[in-house]
Amino acid sequence: MRYTKLGRSNLTVSKICLGTMHFGPYASEEESFRIMDRALELGINFFDTANVYGGPRDRGRSEIIIGWFAQSPGRREQVVLASKVYNSMVGADVPNEERGISAYKVRRHLADSLRRLRTDHIDLYQVHHFDRTVAAEEFWGTFERSVANGDVLYIGSSNFPGWGLAKFQLQAWQRGFMGLVSEQTQYNLLNRIPELEVLPAARDFGIGIMAYMPLAGGLLTGKVQSADGSRTRALEAEYGITLGPENVQLHDFSALCRELGEQEHIVATAWTLNNPAVASAIVGIRTVAQLDGIERAAELDLSADVLARLDEIFNINRGRPLRPGAAPEAYSW
């Protein structure tokens, strides 16, 4: 396993981050324990969750499972534990539980997360989505107190635009606070939009990218067909593609992977990690078997020729007037 520092912080994290969104609704408690044990064996020291993970009827379940797991001696000390806050835990129609950030809400949600996780601190506390309405004084005042109290060590963001990263980071620095050390964004071979603004902004402001869905929800794993009503079918619609023999793009991708002697999910994840702005790729795991060989993705260095061929495969016939690179060069003359 390879490791890196997370953004401007001196915190060391594995290049592969264990995503735990499936813990509870799709992975049983016992399977989740096996997944986390195996992750530690592979050298994965970075676990990501959120207070809402566990399914719409059992929010918090993922944190509870991680909390039970971490009780064995030494386990908590081996893990850089990340969680998130933003969404409602009881229903959006409840006052002060709507989507967003407030001192009132964060105080309660943080205390509940610590209780579920059975820990005295969260290493990386992330704002799950971008809040356009919260004042800088309330936003940073809230998280500064959380850090000062020892409940949280570092602050991160998720799903922020590039201008949002710049805005909140500058506000933090004006207050003499370290600010954001990480940003979670969806980034993969089928979604390169973050290259326009988010990745350049993150790199310039010392914010480490945690790339989620590096496999585009499984579309980049070599699948050739989807079933009606399946998650894969929904993702086909989301990404505007169709699996099957007529999909030349994914056919060419699989052919390149065979030429390299590597599996599709390894190459796709390694490509995500190749971007210098990306600190870690989050892999959402449902079974222990899905972790097999994942460390290879952190170790695989793709040559310039391979990267160029992947650019050609995934930027031609996409129907989008975008080229790899930052804004405005990607779309302007």
Q: What per-residue confidence (pLDDT) applies to 321?
A: 47
Q: How far apart are CA 1 and CA 183, in angstroms?
A: 22
DSSP class of 49: -
Nearest partner of 14 among 38, 40, 53, 33, judged by Cα: 40
Tokens standing for residue 156: 């991160």
Catalytic residues: 53
Alpha carbons 168 and 180: distance in angstroms, whole number: 8
Tokens, residue 60: 């918090």
User: How many whole angstroms separate alpha carbon 113 and alpha carbon 224?
Assistant: 40
The upper half-sphere exposure of residue 67, i.e. CA atoms within 13 Å in the direction of its Cβ, equals 20
Q: Which of 58, 47, 51 is nearest to 82 (CA)?
A: 47
Going from the C-alpha of 283 to that of each of 18, 50, 137, 208, 297, the distances in angstroms are 5, 14, 34, 16, 11
Neighbours of 320 (CB within 10 A): 12
Average pLDDT for runs of 10 along the chain of length 333: 97 98 94 96 97 89 93 89 92 80 96 96 97 96 98 97 97 98 96 93 98 94 76 83 86 96 97 97 96 95 96 68 68 64
Q: 239 to each of 93, 208, 272, how far by Cα in Å?
A: 31, 25, 17
CB-CB contact of 47 with 18 (8 Å):
yes
For 310, residues 6+ apart whose C-beta sits below 8 A from its C-beta are 189, 253, 256, 267, 271, 302
pLDDT at 109: 96
- In whole angstroms, give the CA distance from residue 156 to residue 206: 12
Smallest CA-to-CA distance from 124 within 171, 156, 146 is with 156
